Amino acid sequence: MPNIKSAIKRVKVNQKKADQNKMKKSELRTVIKKAKASVADSADKAADQVKVAQIALDKAAGKGLIHKKAAARKKSRMVKAMNAASAAK
């Protein structure tokens, strides 16, 4: 633990931000997992779940939680899987 007051504050702020990022990333993974599961089950709500996941990915990329191109890649793969599942019906 640092002795300097500003360094002590910096440690606290960094820890708080790390915890927030961890929570937001966990929520994002949960949303993506739900969307993938609904696409795999060919549920009627698959399009809605994918839309929610796309919005969550865009917000995460906008805030710098994940890279912009990583978000685009995940969205593309989800839509591709959804289209393949709907074509197989």
User: And the tokens for 46?
Assistant: 């698959």
Residue 9 backbone phi and psi in degrees, to 5 = -65, -40
pTM score, two decimals?
0.86
Q: Interhelix angle for 46-62 vs 68-88, to 10°?
A: 170
Locate the domains of the chain by residue range: 5-88
Domain range 5-88, its CATH number among 3.40.190.10, 3.65.10.10, 1.10.10.1100, 1.20.58.110? 1.20.58.110
Tens of each residue's pLDDT in the chain, 89 residues = 899 999 999 999 999 999 999 999 999 999 999 999 999 988 788 999 999 999 999 999 999 999 999 999 999 999 999 999 888 87
Q: State the Cα–Cα distance between residues 52 and 69, nearest whole angstrom.
A: 18
Neighbours of 28 (CB within 10 A): 19
Give the model's pLDDT for residue 89.
72
